Amino acid sequence: MEIDRLYVGDAIEVMRGLPQRSIDLVCADPPYNLGKNYGNNIDKKERRQYEDFTRDWLQSVARVLKDNGTIYVFMGVRFISRLYVILEEMGLSFNGWITWHYTQGMGRTKGFSPRHEDILYFVKGKYPTFNLDDIRIPQKYYRERNNMKGANPGDVWQFSHVHYCSQEREDHPTQKPEGVLERMIRASSNPGDVVLDPFVGSGTTCKVARSLGRHWIGIDTNPDYISISEKRIAHSTTLFDSVDPRANRTPVDSKSRS
Ligand SMILES: C[S@@+](CC[C@H](N)C(=O)[O-])C[C@H]1O[C@@H](n2cnc3c(N)ncnc32)[C@H](O)[C@@H]1O
């Protein structure tokens, strides 16, 4: 298996060529079946077809994931509950339902404006990696009972979208914030581990994985996105394009503060 490389092709086909139990962490952001135009592929399948596609690629993931490996899957609200069931059917164990909350986005006039997407967090086995100390955020209060190394960030993550005007924005319609991937990769892998993104798009996962000293593999059917990813990865840096605003807060309170 070649690591630290990108593959142009279908995720299921490419994963067939990866050895069983060779991947420590999968960060997957599949098409949500909402009709997005990804250049050479349109994200619109019959519901049944989309379910079959989801089952097939997750079966491949379950095969290549190491025991005690982890998978995070991004998904829109319309399919998330079905995705949950399919992940369980693959023999994976639930470990969290993360809500990515963004403060800006499309406005609606006939309903509430959408302000979140969800991420399902499943593991294979009983002893998955979880490096809590690497992802802590400042405590809100200085109190003796609080851990002064910081707090667990919880399961609602606040990161802004990569705005169309921002310098980091690539020519891809659903680029994810690097800060979100940073948290997943720091928490659920160690330096030297292998991180796989079967739907790599503009290369966010691989860029962050490389910056954090992990090995990486990315797959996408669109060769233009693979070229964007290659350029991005070559310029990887640890200055990620987004941070959780809570990470910058100043802890307050406590008479016992020294
Ligand atoms: C939601 S986007 C991923 C965005 C990515 N997380 C980023 O930050 O740029 C999904 C990607 O999956 C790709 N794709 C669609 N069907 C695929 C398939 N069968 N195998 C591999 N990639 C596929 C699309 O071209 C698109 O770039």
CATH number, residue 192: 3.40.50.150
Residue 255 counted as domain residue = no
* Contact 98 CB / ligand 1 (< 6 Å): no
Instruction: Average the pLDDT over 6-12 and give the result.
Output: 98
Domain with 42, as residue range(s), is 5-105+112-248
Ligand 1 atom 22, closest CA: 220
Residue 187 counted as domain residue = yes
Residue 82 counted as domain residue = yes
| Rg, C-alpha atoms of the chain | 19
Residue 254 counted as domain residue = no
Residue 16 counted as domain residue = yes
- What pLDDT, in 10s, does the model give residues 39-96? 988 898 999 999 999 999 999 999 999 999 999 999 999 999 999 999 999 999 999 9
* Contact 60 CB / ligand 1 (< 6 Å): no
Under 8 Å between Cβ of 124 and 92:
yes
Instruction: Average the pLDDT over 164-191 and give the result.
Output: 94
> Per the structure block, which two tokens stand in for 12?
């299921």
Which residue type, as a one-letter code, is found at position 116?
H
Residue 99 counted as domain residue = yes
Instruction: Average the pLDDT over 147-164 and give the result.
Output: 92
Ligand 1 atom 7, closest CA: 175
Give the count of domains, the chain: 1
Q: Is this prediction's pTM over 0.85?
A: yes
Flag whether pLDDT at 14 surpasses 80.
Answer: yes
The pLDDT of residue 254 is 61
* Contact 232 CB / ligand 1 (< 6 Å): no
User: DSSP secondary-structure letter at 30?
Assistant: -
